[in-house]
Amino acid sequence: MIKDKTAFEPFSLEPIRLLSPEGEWIAPFELDLDEATLKGFYRDMVTARMLDEKFVILIRTGKTSFIAPHAGHEAAHVGIAHAMQRGHDWLFPYYRDMGLMVAMGVPMVEIFGQMLGNAADPAKGRQMPSHPGSKKLNIFTVCSAIASHIPPAAGAAISMKLRRSNQVAVCTFGDGATSEGDWHAGINFAAVQNAPAVFVCENNRYAISVDYAHQTSAHTIADKAHAYGIPGYRVDGLDVLASYYVMHHVIERSRSGAGAALVELEVYRYGPHSSADDDTRYRPKSEVDAARKRDPLVRFRKFLEQRGLWDSAAENKLRTQIAHDLEAALQEAEAAGEAPAEWMFDDVLSRRPWHLEEQRKLVLDELR
Amino acid sequence: MATMTLIQAINKALDEEMARDDQVVVFGEDVGKRGGVFLATEGLQQKYGPERVIDTPLSEAAIIGAAVGMAAHGMRPVAEIQFADYVFPGFDQLVSQAAKLRYRSGGQFTAPMVVRMPTGGGVKGGHHHSQSPEAHFAHTGGLKVVVVSTPYDSKGLLKSAVRDDDPVVFMEPKRLYRALKEEVPEDDYLIPIGKAAIRREGGDITLISYGSSMVETLKAAEEMAAAGIQAEVIDLRSVLPWDKETVLNSVARTGRVLMISEAPRMASVASEVTATISEELFDQLLAPPVRVSGFDTPYPYAQDKLYMPTVTRILNAAKRVLDY
Ligand SMILES: Cc1ncc(C[n+]2csc(CCOP(=O)(O)OP(=O)(O)O)c2C)c(N)n1
């Protein structure tokens, strides 16, 4: 039972797509985004891609110990972020959402600080790299345990409803996450409470090596929404405008009191699962090559070019600027130096009990 | 005899047990096509097919719960949890189902199953890829808990675990997967669950440890030997049941004991063992039993190495016990 009638039809047979592979606008409605916004989308997508490339250098040079490549997720990331009221709504992301961090406006130096696990990390070097978060921007700090953030997202959304804050909780995850009990428990609760929660699957068709067919027998992830009585939207997540418009529609629908929704953004992960993964063991290179031909950046650039908004001079200028900004932020983060050893004992509890005090002293004595 | 790493010994044990008994099945996240993220199950799916080596959906509750059902129905499931840190979504199945099936059914139903998991830190994994949750399992009546520290033991203990009639939590320190190599026999041998190993003999002090901390414990013992102090080193191997007899015999001789483990200190296996020693050998002790442990913080990323008992920390604590 779907509770309202919407502009985008849930449970569509084909993924919702507004840009053709050649970058033509094929939507049944007028594009109402201005030039600056469209260019902003593109800037964020390119920044996200270049950040991904920078991370590869960080891992190769041993400056970081773990990366989760997000290339291929950029259109989804930018669409999600720009559809939110950034800084007002809450985001519950997962580890592959670095492009989302870029588009949410997390300062680059914080992103690099977290990747280095050093004193520039606002979370004090506690977690492995690729686990961002920002209290200032209402971005719930990423947790490695898959799907464990979904019930908290439901809870935040329930709080938003009870406290009438006019916010929405947006929660992202991969297709693998949809198999965890927490996923079902969280979505069910949010749905029952008619809470303003939007659950977003960035479906790249793999959970490490386990392909979609071994993960679920459901035809689509969006279909699973049927079980919870909420709408499920299947979207071409390599199309930034489809990702943006559907997310915007669904977020505002939730904000207006219509309750939870599930959105499936179909993307592809071009890199391995992580820096610890060898993807040639489980997927053919030809599949990756074919997916690369559908690159979301290329598609959107074609769109901008056709509208006379972009050319190679603009492209070069943008890339030079981003490369410079990334390098400057990295250097600034590196300059912050190591996280002091005794930070290990902070924030375990609101105050340090005797046993942590003793253990802290032991380490300080040892290092003296 | 072949020289093997710990992970290769695990792989060999699984291979041999699958060949020996066609009721043995292996399953978990990424164990099939990829051969496991640490390659513990490499090659097994090619050899035994996707019905006996199953890539599962991403659900530890499903993995452990299904193992209970398969075991109750007569199979010998060996489930892999990708990291010990991710046992918690399946913890309910382990604690409520696996651990209590024999007891609650009055012995009518049983769950002879193995849940393997990489454990411990030192690999820059942050707090969700570094924990040592053995105390959680040891605190639950109805489970057996093994933590290995050498390739030779890994093969013999895993084979015993597969054949054991109880649910066995089998923990493999990931820091050691490729760090050690030793000769591992090609033949079928078993190491009994519940039996400790004496890694080094000595009469001055007993050092007890298990899992990855065995590395630093043995190094500390060598340094102590260079200074003229002979430490006896015991590797518990099984933390539930742990080998009380071997431990008490040793401590009764040395009168001094240090227990080393990288798990947090509070309510730990180290606490249990040292408390038992105090209770049973109070009169014979020349110094209070001392623990060297991980800290009671979530496992930190930036201080990855400092969190674990270092050789220096062990030697400092040993000095305290010896000088008492
Ligand atoms: C509870 C839990 N189990 C296992 C893991 C190990 N693990 C990390 S990522 C991953 C695959 C996740 O796949 P998916 O949810 O599809 O997201 P993707 O990485 O494809 O974006 C697994 C199994 C984990 N982090 N948490």
The interface pTM score, or ipTM, of the predicted complex is 0.94
| In contact, B238 and B191? CB cutoff 8 Å | no
CB within 8 Å of A343: residues ≥ 6 apart: A124, A125, B300, B302, B303
* Residue that the structure tokens 């499920």 belong to: A232
CA–CA separation, B162 and B77 (whole Å): 8
Instruction: Give A 235-254 residues with CB within 8 A of chain B.
Output: none
- Say if residues A242 and A19 touch (Cβ distance below 8 Å): yes
Active centre residues of A (catalytic): 269, 273, 282
B184 DSSP 8-state letter? E
> Rounded to 5, what percent of chain B is helix, strand, coil?
40, 20, 40
Instruction: Tell me if chain B has a CB within 8 Å of the CB of A181.
Output: yes
**Both tokens assigned to A222:** 């969006």
User: What local confidence, expressed as pLDDT, does residue A1 receive?
Assistant: 34
Q: Is B128 on the interface with A (CB under 8 A)?
A: yes
> pLDDT, tens digit, for every residue of A88-107?
999 999 999 999 999 999 99
A18 has a pLDDT exceeding 60: yes
Q: Is the pLDDT of residue B244 over 60?
A: yes
Average pLDDT over residues B151-162: 98
CB under 8 A, 24+ apart: contacts of B200-203:
B200/B231, B200/B232, B200/B233, B201/B230, B201/B232, B202/B229, B202/B230, B202/B231, B202/B232, B202/B233, B202/B254, B203/B230, B203/B232, B203/B253, B203/B254
CB-based contact, A339 to chain B, within 8 Å: yes
Structure token digits, residue A295:
């690159």
Looking at ligand 1, which residue's alpha carbon is closest to its atom 3? B86
Q: pLDDT class for A4, splitting at 50, 70, 90? A: very low
Residue B146 pLDDT > 90: yes
Could you tell me if the CB of A208 is within 6 A of ligand 1? yes
Q: Are B187 and B152 in contact (CB under 8 A)?
A: no
φ, ψ at A51 (rounded to 5°): -65, -40
Work out the average pLDDT over B202-231: 98
Query: Could you tell me how many CB contacts below 8 A there are between chain A and chain B?
Result: 128
In this structure, what DSSP letter does residue B85 have? Answer: G
Say what the pLDDT of residue A7 is: 77
Query: In this structure, are residues A145 and B86 in contact, taking their beta carbons and an 8 Å threshold?
Result: yes
Which tokens belong to A346?
């902070």
pLDDT of A6 over the 80 cut: no
Pick the residue from chain A with its C-alpha nearest to B313: A366
Question: Where would I find the beta strands (DSSP E) of chain B?
Answer: 2-4, 24-28, 53-55, 76-80, 114-119, 144-147, 168-173, 182-184, 197-200, 205-209, 231-235, 238-240, 257-264, 290-294
A150 lines ligand 1 (CB under 6 A): no
pLDDT at A8 over 60: yes
* Residues B262-309: tens digit of each pLDDT: 999 999 999 999 999 999 999 999 999 999 999 999 999 999 999 999
Where does the pLDDT of residue B1 fall: very low under 50, low under 70, confident under 90, or very high at 90 and above? confident
Contact A366 B313 (CB under 8 A): yes
Does the beta-carbon distance from B61 to A207 stay under 8 Å?
Answer: no
pLDDT tens column, B98-119: 999 999 999 999 999 999 999 9
Q: What is the pTM of this model?
A: 0.96
Provide CB contacts within 8 A for A42, sequence distance 6+.
A297, A300, A301, A304, A310, A318
Candidates B97, B130, B268, B295, partner chain A, best to mutate (most A CBs within 10 A): B295
Q: What confidence score (pLDDT) does residue A5 get?
A: 38
Q: Which residues pair with A235 in a beta bridge?
A: A16, A265
Task: Give B-chain residues touching A145 at CB under 8 angstroms.
Answer: 85-86, 88-89, 128
Q: Does B241 sit behind a cis peptide bond, omega within 30 degrees of 0 on the bond before it?
A: yes
The rounded Å distance from CA A177 to ligand 1 centre is: 7
Percent of chain A with pLDDT over 90: 98
Please say whether the beta carbons of A269 and A206 come within 8 A. Answer: yes
Task: Look up residue A190 and give its two tokens.
Answer: 């949010």
Cα(first)–Cα(last) distance of chain A, in Å? 66
Average pLDDT over residues B161-182: 98
The answer to whether B259 and B291 are in contact (CB under 8 A) is yes
The Å distance, Cα A328 to ligand 1 centre, comes to 32
**Residues B27-44: pLDDT tens digits?**
999 999 999 999 999 999
Whether B300 sits inside 8 A of A145 (CB atoms) is no
**Alpha-carbon distances of B293 from A39, A175, A335, rounded to whole Å:** 55, 38, 33
- Is B129 in the active site? yes
Residue A179 has pLDDT above 50, yes or no: yes
Quote the pLDDT of residue A2.
39
For the segment A320-347, what is each residue's pLDDT rounded down to a tens digit? 999 999 999 999 999 999 999 999 999 9
* Most B CBs within 10 Å, among A64, A141, A143, A144, to test the B interface: A144
- Eight-state DSSP code of residue B258: E
Chain B residues with CB-CB distance to A58 below 8 A: none
* Residues in contact with A111: Cβ distance below 8 Å, sequence separation at least 6, in sequence order: A51, A98, A101, A102, A132, A329
Cβ atoms of residues B94 and B87 within 8 Å: yes
pLDDT tens profile A49-80: 999 999 999 999 999 999 999 999 999 999 99
